[in-house]
Amino acid sequence: KHIGEAEAKYQAGGSPLADVDLYKDSNPDAPKMSKAEFDKARNIYFQRCAGCHGVLRKGATGKPLTPDITLARGSEYLKVFIKYGSPAGMPNWGTSGELTDDEVDLMARYIQQTAPTPPEFGMADMKQTWKVIVPPEQRPKKKMNNYNISNIFSTTLRDSGEVALIDGDTKKIINIVKTGYAVHISRISASGRYLFVIGRDARVNMIDLWMEKPDNVAEIRIGLEARSVDTSKFKGYEDKLAIAGAYWPPQFVIMNGDTLEPLKIVSTRGLTVDTQEYHPEPRVASIVASHFKPEFVVNVKETGKTMMVDYSDITNLKMTEIGSARFLHDGGWDLSKRYFMVAANQSNKIAAIDAKEGKLAGMVEVGKIPHPGRGANFVHPKYGPVWATGHLGDESIALIGTDPKNHKQYAWKLVENLKSQGGGSLFIKTHPKSNHLYVDNPLHPEAKVSQSVAVYDLKNLQGGYKVLPIGDWAGLKDDGAKRVVQPEYNKDGNEVWFSVWSAKDKESAIVIVDDKTLELKTVIKDPKLITPTGHFNVYNTQHDVY
Ligand code: DHE
């Protein structure tokens, strides 16, 4: 199996646009399709193909598939490509059994039609979906429960469209909260009171952790498909504003931090950083809130630009546009929280964005398809503060120097490469109180690797890694995929939590490891823990500890 395929399958996670009824009369030059055939193909396209090839099929990490190109190739050629895949990363949808020959034929005809354009989603649409479930004046004036809320974990239950709030002290489920579908991330307001989550379907939920039983207090849809949300953290603006970014339409929206009332929508359509050509659908990837200025750091995938959005005056909105490389995806702060390290994943680079000066501090060539999550920060005996990322496309762990003041010669350089279990890594994590660095490999083709995690001793990085069989430790009753996803520490930094993620009809679990002994501490199992993926500790997320 070639590496690009893991990346392509990862991007084929399914889009809510699959359910939007879009039918265009077929292109007169394209092979004929009935409406029923078109609808079926459109659904498959948004489930499997749009992640790489784009909603409008203009190309992103995958090649463009507009009719000017596909008609010239012709049905027979396209069918072979779809069925058998290509070494460049196109999955073998036919021979892998995921599409039948009839479906391969259908898709070959579909991509010769003009791509249907999904509708826009503006202020009126947002307002229609906006609900204040508990208005601010009816909310508690103080914390009404006995939970140690800074050690709560918000765990995505991907396929059930919920998050589980789990008490990090007792390991008991506090509540299962209804949210959008396949919540991508959880973020915490500056005060630590409010939890914000966003579903793939662009539904944002705001949960009040002060309620006797923490639950939703507001909700809105900000588009048709999305991945990112955050809230204002600069002094004087704590809990004041929220922001969410959409994949479709390509835009972000600034909202009231109390109620989610939408205030200002900004389009990200524009020119790419390198060839400076117009791109019709630059998706909003990671968003973080700056600690240095009243700014949101908004990373735009297809244009390869980071927008520093000044929220101090949203009527006269000022934005600094920092160009780096395509295609910006995920990232996290360095140890000082001044530099945002963002993966330009198809360029195999990490860009360091200086949030204090509002400019590009450096670009570092790393391994194939860096995928840090938020990355991992620690102090290296020789290189000083470093930030680390794993990769989807190879087995390297890149350590990058992040201290231009006291370790100038190493700043924004790849100072060391560690070897891990293999590619297919999504997340890496450490904690200021820990001597360990954990690296997952949920997309590795071998079960032995995808069901385990590698741990390095920060005091002896050259000593290699130890493998913890997290999937086995879960002791699940059926033989699911058991992909081990996302190491996350508790507040004290002495436990590490992992999701053991199997399909929705199979048992999944959360496995907790004692960080000192690297032994199993607890397994959380519950019939309600359906497809757990990301999990976010309140304190560590609130303070950007990673
Ligand atoms: Fe993610 C972070 C997009 C697939 C779990 N993911 C992110 C971010 C983006 C993103 C833009 C950064 C958000 C931020 O910091 O503001 N993810 C995408 C995709 O486009 C992609 C490739 C394909 C898709 O169809 O969604 C994708 N992601 C996945 C998965 O398959 C995962 C494992 C499970 C799932 O939800 O489907 C997954 N992504 C996560 C998690 C984070 C994340 C847990 C947050 C990591 C963190 O530590 O901050």
pLDDT in tens, 240-289: 999 999 999 999 999 999 999 999 999 999 999 999 999 999 999 999 99
User: What is the model's pLDDT at position 23?
Assistant: 75
What's the CA-to-centroid distance between 74 and ligand 1, angstroms? Answer: 35
User: What is the model's pLDDT at position 6?
Assistant: 73
Neighbours of 84 (CB within 10 A): 15
**Could you tell me the pLDDT band of residue 348, with boundaries at 50, 70 and 90?**
very high
Q: Which residues have C-beta within 8 Å of that of residue 307, sequence separation ≥ 6? A: 268, 297, 298, 299, 300, 319, 320, 321, 322
Instruction: Judge whether residue 291 has pLDDT over 90.
Output: yes
> Does residue 285 line the site of ligand 1, with CB under 6 A?
yes
User: What is the model's pLDDT at position 4?
Assistant: 65
CB 30 within 8 A of CB 109: yes
> Does residue 305 line the site of ligand 1, with CB under 6 A?
no
Whether the bond into 327 is cis, omega within 30 of 0: yes
Q: Rounded mean pLDDT of 98-126? A: 95
Q: Rounded mean pLDDT of 205-210? A: 98
User: What is the model's pLDDT at position 15?
Assistant: 86
Q: Rounded mean pLDDT of 214-225? A: 98
Q: Rounded mean pLDDT of 107-123? A: 95
Instruction: Return the CA Rg of the chain.
Output: 23
CB 255 within 8 A of CB 262: yes
**Could you tell me the pLDDT band of residue 25, with boundaries at 50, 70 and 90?**
low
User: What is the model's pLDDT at position 27?
Assistant: 74
pLDDT in tens, 447-473: 999 999 999 999 999 999 999 999 999
Nearest CA to 219 out of 197, 190, 245 is that of 197
What's the CA-to-centroid distance between 226 and ligand 1, angstroms? Answer: 10
User: What is the model's pLDDT at position 405?
Assistant: 97
CB 343 within 8 A of CB 409: no
Q: Where are the beta strands (DSSP E) in 275-383?
A: 278-279, 284-289, 295-300, 305-310, 318-323, 328-333, 339-344, 349-354, 359-365, 376-380
Instruction: Judge whether residue 3 has pLDDT over 80.
Output: no
Average pLDDT over the chain, rounded to an integer: 95
Q: Which residues have C-beta within 8 Å of that of residue 421, sequence separation ≥ 6? A: 395, 439, 441, 444, 449, 452, 454, 465, 467
Predicted ipTM > 0.95: yes
> Does residue 375 line the site of ligand 1, with CB under 6 A?
no
**Could you tell me the pLDDT band of residue 318, with boundaries at 50, 70 and 90?**
very high
Q: Which residues have C-beta within 8 Å of that of residue 266, sequence separation ≥ 6? A: 251, 252, 253, 254, 309, 317, 319
Pairing state of beta strands 194-198 and 185-188? Answer: antiparallel
User: What is the model's pLDDT at position 75?
Assistant: 95
**Could you tell me the pLDDT band of residue 29, with boundaries at 50, 70 and 90?**
confident
Instruction: Judge whether residue 26 has pLDDT over 80.
Output: no
| Residue closest by Cα to atom 26 of ligand 1 | 13
The best mutation among 185, 281, 287, 536 to test binding of ligand 1, ranked by most ligand atoms within 8 Å of the C-beta, falls on 185
Is there a catalytic annotation at residue 329?
Answer: yes
| Residue closest by Cα to atom 7 of ligand 1 | 330
pLDDT in tens, 127-186: 999 999 999 999 999 999 999 999 999 999 999 999 999 999 999 999 999 999 999 999
Q: Which residues have C-beta within 8 Å of that of residue 386, sequence separation ≥ 6? A: 377, 378, 379, 380, 399, 400, 401, 402, 410, 415, 416
Q: Rounded mean pLDDT of 286-307? A: 97
Residues 320, 322: Cα–Cα separation, whole Å: 6
pLDDT in tens, 359-391: 999 999 999 999 999 999 999 999 999 999 999
pLDDT in tens, 493-543: 999 999 999 999 999 999 999 999 999 999 999 999 999 999 999 999 999
What's the CA-to-centroid distance between 268 and ligand 1, angstroms? Answer: 20
pLDDT > 70 fraction of the chain, expressed in percent and rounded: 99
**Could you tell me the pLDDT band of residue 89, with boundaries at 50, 70 and 90?**
confident
* Cα 80 to chain centroid, rounded: 32
Q: Rounded mean pLDDT of 345-365? A: 97
Residue among 279, 291, 329, 444 flagged as catalytic: 329
Q: Is 0.80 topped by the overall pTM?
A: yes
Instruction: Judge whether residue 2 has pLDDT over 60.
Output: no
> Does residue 158 line the site of ligand 1, with CB under 6 A?
yes
Is there a catalytic annotation at residue 2?
Answer: no
Q: Rounded mean pLDDT of 304-319? A: 98
